[in-house]
Amino acid sequence: MMNVVSDIFILGIESSCDETSAAIVRNGEEVISNVVLSQFSTHKPYGGVVPELASREHLRNIVPVMRAALEEAGHTYESIDAIAVTRGPGLAGALLVGLSFAKAICFAVNKPLIAVNHLEGHIHAVLLEQRQQGKHELEFPVLALVVSGGHTHLYLAESKENSWTYENIGHTRDDAAGEAFDKVAKLLGLGYPGGPIIDRLAKFGDSKAVKFGQAQLKHRDRRDHGKPEGERPHFDFSYSGIKTAVLRYVELNNMHAAIETRRKALIQIEQPSLDDYKQLADQPTLDLVASFQRAIVDDLVSKTLAAAESTQAATLLVTGGVAANSELRETFEREAPKVGLNVYFPSRPLSTDNAAMIAAAAYPKFLLKEFAAMDVSAEPGLVLR
Ligand code: KG4
Ligand code: ZN
C-alpha cells in the first residue's frame, strides 16, 4: 500500500512583546494565514512599550486574532495538528497570555503543544519563505544575524535530521540595534517605533554630515583575547555609545527647542504621513538621522561579515525587526556576494514579530514529536541553543 503523508497544519501564537499574532502554516513552508495586531497606538503616547499595557492588550486581542487566523485559513481548532507558542524571550506578562491560551486550547481539543524560542522563530521566518519559493537546499555553515528591538545576536545554525541547534557567537553588550533606533527617534521627537520612521527619513539626509567615531560604536573588543586555543572568537556589538553621541550632538547644536515643537506637533496627528514627518524635520535633523542609520548599518554589516569570514559561513540569514531596514538590506545585498556569501532576508511583514515564524520553527519539532508538557512555563530570559 502506498504511504500517504498528509499535510501538517500548525497554529502559531506570538505574544512576546507588542504584537498579538496568530497564524496557520502548512508543513513549515506555506503561510495559510498570518494575522498580526500591533499595539502601536496603545504605546505611542509613552514613546515605548509599557509591559502592563502590553499584557492587557494581548488579553483583549488574543481571541479575535486567533479566530481571524482560523477563519482566513478555513480551519478550526479541531482541524489543526498542533499549537505552537512563543515561550520566551520576551515580556513575562505578555508571554503568559499567549502561553496560557495555547495550553487551554490544547487541553480542550486534545492537541500537542510546541514551545518555541522567539529568536528561533525569527530565523525560521527566512527559512519558511525560502521553502515557500521552492528553495529547499541550504548551504551550511549558516550564520544568522537576529537584529531586533531586544536582540542583536549572531548564531551559527546547524541542522541534523530536523533537529536544529544554535551556537551564539556574538551579541550586543548593551543596547540592541532596534533599541538604538527607538531611543534616537524618541530623543529627536520623532515618536515610536523609531526604526521605520528613521528608515524613511534617512533618505532625505546626508549620511556623511555627522561623523560617529569607532569608539561610539564599540568599546572593548574581546576577539581572541585570552581565549583557550580552539575556542571560537566572539563578535560583540555595542549601541549605547552612539545614542549618547546623538544626545551630545543635539545639545551642542541647540536642537532641543525644535525637537519639543516637533514632538508636540506629531502627538496631535493620529497617523503621521511621510510628508508630515518631513515638514516637521529640519535639514540638520535629517542629516543626523541619516548619519546615525549609516553608522549602525556599517557596524552591523562589517562585524557580521567578519564573523562570516571567520566561521567560513556559506549562507547568511538576516532577520528580526531591523532586517526590515532598507539601507541594511541594500548594504548586505551589495557586500555579502563580494565575499561569496548568499544572504537572505524575510519579506518585510515577516521581519517584525509575527506568528507564522513561530509555526514554521515548530514544524521540525512536530516531526520529532518534541512536545511541551502542559506545565511548561514562560521564560522571559530564554536562551537559544
Ligand atoms: O522583531 P521585532 O518586531 O520585535 C522584537 O523582537 O524586538 O523588532 C522591533 C524592532 C523595533 O526596535 C523597531 O524600531 C525595529 O525593529 N524596526 C526597524 C525597522 N522596522 C522595525 N528598525 C530599522 N528600520 C526599520 N525599517
Ligand atoms: Zn522579535
| Residue 48 pLDDT | 87
Closest residue by Cα to atom 23, ligand 1, is: 195
Q: Round the average pLDDT of the chain to a whole number and report it.
A: 94
Strands 82-88 and 30-38: unpaired
Residue 304 CA to ligand 2 center (angstroms) comes to: 19
Q: Which is the closest atom of ligand 1 to the Cα of 178?
A: 12
Residue 28 Cβ contacting ligand 1 at under 6 Å: no
Nearest to residue 315, comparing CAs of 304, 329, 326, 323? Answer: 304
Nearest to residue 361, comparing CAs of 87, 141, 164, 100? Answer: 164
| Lowest mean pLDDT segment, chosen from 36-40, 80-84, 142-146, 222-226 | 222-226
Q: What percent of the chain has pLDDT over 70?
A: 95
Residue 346 Cβ contacting ligand 1 at under 6 Å: no
The predicted-structure confidence for 26-71, as pLDDT tens digits, reads as follows 999 999 999 999 998 899 888 889 999 999 999 999 999 999 999 9
DSSP letters, 241-257, are HHHHHHHHHHHHTT-HH
Please give the single-letter amino acid code of residue 156: L
| Spacing of C-alpha 338 from chain mean position | 26
Nearest ligand atom owner, CA of 150: 1
Cis peptide, bond prior to residue 228, ω within 30 of zero: no
Residue written as grid cell 488579553: 59
Q: Which is the closest atom of ligand 1 to the Cα of 182?
A: 14
Residue 76 and residue 70: Cα distance in Å, rounded? 6
Residue 47 Cβ contacting ligand 1 at under 6 Å: no
Residue 181 Cβ contacting ligand 1 at under 6 Å: yes
Dihedral Cα 263, 40, 358, 317, nearest 10 deg: -30
Residue 61 and residue 39: Cα distance in Å, rounded? 10
Residue 105 C-beta-side C-alpha neighbours within 13 Å: 25
Nearest to residue 44, comparing CAs of 149, 148, 193? Answer: 193
Strands 163-171 and 82-88: unpaired
Residue 88 Cβ contacting ligand 1 at under 6 Å: no
Q: For a substitution probing ligand 1, which of 124, 181, 198, 347 has the most ligand atoms within 8 Å of its CB? A: 181
Residue 175 Cβ contacting ligand 1 at under 6 Å: no
Give the helix/strand (H/E) hosting 9. strand 9-14
Residue 195 Cβ contacting ligand 1 at under 6 Å: yes
Q: Is 370 helix (H, G, I), strand (E, B) or coil?
A: coil
Closest residue by Cα to atom 21, ligand 1, is: 321
Residue 195 CA to ligand 1 center (angstroms) comes to: 6
Residue 93 CA to ligand 2 center (angstroms) comes to: 16
User: Sign of the C-alpha dihedral, residues 308, 313, 315, 321?
Assistant: negative
Residue 292 Cβ contacting ligand 1 at under 6 Å: no
Asked if 384 and 167 count as a contact pair (C-beta separation under 8 A), the reply is no
Task: Find the mean pLDDT for residues 98-114.
Answer: 98
**289-299: string of b/e by CB count within 10 Å (b at 16+)?**
bbbbbbbbbbb
pTM of the model: 0.94
| Lowest mean pLDDT segment, chosen from 41-45, 271-275, 311-315, 349-353 | 41-45
Residue 182 Cβ contacting ligand 1 at under 6 Å: yes
- According to DSSP, the residues that pair with 146 across neighbouring strands are 153, 319
The predicted-structure confidence for 281-290, as pLDDT tens digits, reads as follows 999 999 999 9
Residue 193 Cβ contacting ligand 1 at under 6 Å: yes
Residue 224 scores a pLDDT above 50? no
Residue 358 CA to ligand 1 center (angstroms) comes to: 17
Asked if 14 and 348 count as a contact pair (C-beta separation under 8 A), the reply is no
The predicted-structure confidence for 264-274, as pLDDT tens digits, reads as follows 999 899 889 99
Task: Find the mean pLDDT for residues 79-94.
Answer: 98
Residue 272 Cβ contacting ligand 1 at under 6 Å: no
- According to DSSP, the residues that pair with 317 across neighbouring strands are 144, 344
Nearest to residue 83, comparing CAs of 105, 68, 66, 64? Answer: 105
The counts of H helices and E strands in the chain are 14, 10
Strands 113-117 and 19-26: unpaired
Asked if 10 and 84 count as a contact pair (C-beta separation under 8 A), the reply is yes
- List Cβ<8 Å contacts ≥24 apart for 329-337: 331/297, 331/298, 331/301, 332/301, 332/304, 335/301, 335/305, 336/305, 336/308
Nearest ligand atom owner, CA of 149: 1
The predicted-structure confidence for 175-208, as pLDDT tens digits, reads as follows 999 999 999 999 999 998 899 999 999 999 999 9
